[in-house]
Amino acid sequence: MTENIKAVELSKKQREISISEFFTRNRHLLGFDNPTRALMMVVKEAVDNALDATMEMKVLPEIYVELKQLNEDRFIVIVEDNGPGIIKQQIPNIFAKLLYGSKFHTLKQNRGQQGIGISAAVLYSQLTTGKFTKIISKIHPKKPAHYFELHIDTKRNEPIIERDHEVDWNKDHGTRIELELEARYQKGRQSVDEYIKQTAIVNPHAKIIYITPEKERIEFPRVTNDLPKEPKEIKPHPHGIEIGTLIRMLKDTTSTTLSSFLQNDFSRIGPTVSSNICDEAKLSTRAKPSSLENSQIEILFKVIQNTKIIAPPTDCLSPIGSELLEKGLKKEIQADFFTTTTRPPSVYRGMPFLIEAAIAYGGDLDKESTIRLMRFANRVPLLYQQGACGITEGASDITWRPYGLGQSSGNLPTGPAIIVVHIASVWVPFTSEAKEAIAHYDEILKEIKLALQDCGRKLAAYIRKNVKAKEQKERISLFEKYIPELAFSLSNLTGEKSAIIEENLKKILNKNMSKLIESVQEDGKEESKE
């Protein structure tokens, strides 16, 4: 009878789908939706990894990026770093298995966080060219370098090792990746060139050498020899989790008592808070975490949510810093005025984050068009999906006219300016796997606005002092020219001596001039008070 049952027939088609197959068919979700963007994505994933690696090693980054054009739509991308290298056994998984990495399970300010990026680049290379990705990695001057040629077995999401052997590599330690891919190279706002330039701006401690497809060698020197403060890993904050996560944590913990679980697996729970929570939930502090019933966990969860617990630690974040952000900008952008600000850390859904902002004004920048918005997350430039990004919303929501920029309501302002926003967080809430836009959390939008308003006030003062004062001076000196002629005419009319009238007119003008200077000085005082 079973043979005639539809469900039995249908059951034969049910199958597991590997994450590699899924993203092969849905590669646009990863940002690989056209050849131009694909080139930028591959460079970005490799450079992000390179910078994260050097940060782990605590060395000043020296990153080498090369694009070799094979024909109109075929490129080789090479990215090399001086990071710690990768041990031989893990090279295949790191580059040729999606959802594998060290960053997903930790809350720490890293560029990467999903364990998808670089293997997605390998997947795209393999899909469009069928070629193997070539890796060299070396972990110590006295250890051999290892060379790998890798594919992804998309059906099982496992690496396929085509070749692996030792090689000579004239380097103490580091990693080199070489991928061939279908791609297109173009200049402009969403190009590889722009990505690398912006990366240099927000990583002023990095030296980047970039060989363009035209074989031009562009060197971005470092502007500081100090490494950024090292970001620290933190535990989740008890107010940032959901009940399902609590259930899983209780099952997985290595802590043997409820009290030690609460103190070890969360941030900001000490012995007192821990025993208060247990009392309130009518649970023993010595209860075994994995033995709790679901009904008990529900009560525990509610008690935790209703307990006052201080905000998560924020010294885990590593901002660029106002001074270095300004240095980085000045190196790459021609403008008359720069201002930067770093906000104190804040929290969204239990996650610490902080916002930095900057404005560059005047100089070569175009006066007539919309300002240029540069968006960054954990020191990575975001070049796509500007319209969908919370940073764009934050910058558009501000009333910019009082700060000296033009604006039609609800839009980005206009004027000769570049506006920079950087979010640093232990977990950046991206709106898609392509990691190009930030989700619209209220707490984040608020901080973006506060940071930009701070920059805006300094910009307004600058415009008053320099731009407006300059215009006023020009007007006064124009009037000065006409004083003799005016005095002569008035003399004719009144019979007073022309020289006396001229002198009086000059006095009036000078009085106004000193008022103008005073007012500019006042602005200066206000500014320094801020």
Please, which of residues 376-395 interact with its own copies by CB under 8 A?
A: 388
What residues numbered 25-64 form the site for its own copies, per CB under 8 A? Answer: 25-26, 28-29, 33, 56-57
111 close to 380: Cβ distance less than 8 angstroms? yes
- Please give the backbone phi and psi of residue 237, each rounded to the nearest 5 degrees, phi first: -85, 140
> Does 15 engage in binding with its own copies (CB under 8 A)?
yes
Query: What are the tokens at 325?
Result: 């952000």
Find residue 115's DSSP bridge partners: none
CB of 433 or CB of 480, closer to its own copies: 433
Closest to 284 measured CA to CA, from 305, 261, 266: 261
Q: Looking at 37, 97, 111, 458, which residue binds its own copies (CB under 8 A)?
A: 97
152 close to 121: Cβ distance less than 8 angstroms? no
What residues numbered 132-161 form the site for its own copies, per CB under 8 A? Answer: 139-140, 142-143, 154-155
> Does 24 engage in binding with its own copies (CB under 8 A)?
yes
Instruction: Please choose, out of 128-136, 221-229, 412-420, 458-466, the segment that lies near its own copies by the rule CB under 8 A.
Output: 128-136
Closest to 83 measured CA to CA, from 173, 210, 203: 173
Query: What are the tokens at 260?
Result: 């030690």
Q: Looking at 37, 44, 173, 379, which residue binds its own copies (CB under 8 A)?
A: 173
Contacts of 466 (CB under 8 A, 6+ apart): 336, 337
346 close to 259: Cβ distance less than 8 angstroms? no
- Please give the backbone phi and psi of residue 66, each rounded to the nearest 5 degrees, phi first: -135, 135
> Does 410 engage in binding with its own copies (CB under 8 A)?
no
CA angle 420, 422, 423 (to 5 degrees): 150
Q: For residue 504, which amino acid is it?
A: N
CB of residue 398 vs its own copies: minimum separation in angstroms? 22
> Does 19 engage in binding with its own copies (CB under 8 A)?
yes
Find residue 145's DSSP bridge partners: 167
Instruction: Please choose, out of 37-45, 67-75, 428-436, 470-478, the segment that lies near its own copies by the rule CB under 8 A.
Output: 428-436
Size of the site for its own copies (CB under 8 A): 73
Map residues 224-243 to x or -, x wherever contact with its own copies holds by CB under 8 A: ------------------xx
Instruction: Please choose, out of 82-90, 202-210, 282-290, 354-362, the segment that lies near its own copies by the rule CB under 8 A.
Output: 82-90
Question: How far from chain centre, in Å, is Cα 508?
Answer: 54
Q: Looking at 3, 7, 254, 409, which residue binds its own copies (CB under 8 A)?
A: 7
3-state SS, 22-65, equals HHHHCHHHHCCCCHHHHHHHHHHHHHHHHHHHHHHHCCCCEEEE
CB of residue 375 vs its own copies: minimum separation in angstroms? 18
CB of residue 73 vs its own copies: minimum separation in angstroms? 12
Q: Looking at 32, 75, 100, 210, which residue binds its own copies (CB under 8 A)?
A: 100
Torsional sign, CA 384, 385, 390, 394: positive
Instruction: Please choose, out of 122-130, 212-220, 264-272, 418-426, the segment that lies near its own copies by the rule CB under 8 A.
Output: 122-130
Residue 166's Cβ-side half-sphere holds a number of Cα atoms within 13 Å equal to 5
Q: Looking at 73, 336, 433, 480, which residue binds its own copies (CB under 8 A)?
A: 433
> Does 21 engage in binding with its own copies (CB under 8 A)?
yes
> Does 504 engage in binding with its own copies (CB under 8 A)?
no
> Does 256 engage in binding with its own copies (CB under 8 A)?
no
Number of Cβ within a 10 Å radius of residue 321:
18
Q: Looking at 275, 276, 386, 432, which residue binds its own copies (CB under 8 A)?
A: 432
Q: Is 110 helix (H, G, I), strand (E, B) or coil?
A: coil
> Does 315 engage in binding with its own copies (CB under 8 A)?
no
Map residues 436-465 to x or -, x wherever contact with its own copies holds by CB under 8 A: ---x--------------------------
| Cα gap 41→51, rounded to integer Å | 15
> Does 194 engage in binding with its own copies (CB under 8 A)?
no
